[in-house]
Amino acid sequence: MTRYRRIRDLREDHDLTQTEVGAAINVPQRTYAYYETGQRMVPPWVLCALADFYQVSVDYILERTDQT
């Protein structure tokens, strides 16, 4: 499975907990934790929600670019 390092980095850079981010994008904390560790693939709607929440591109979250 893919590890999504950037979603953890973004969360920590914004001084947020997994619970806070999960609530903001409407997923349980446990599910969000699985996304961060790569135990579950992040569905497209969650990628979009995270990109909107952090005001970055989906490509940035997926490490396809370094430009936010």
- For the chain, domains (ranges, CATH) are 5-61 (1.10.260.40)
Tens of pLDDT, residue by residue, the chain (68 residues): 567 899 999 999 999 999 999 999 999 999 999 999 989 999 999 999 999 999 999 999 999 998 87
56-65 contacts: CB < 8 A, separation 24 or more?
Answer: 56/10, 60/6, 61/4, 61/6, 61/7, 61/10, 62/4, 62/6, 63/5, 63/6
Say what the pTM is: 0.91
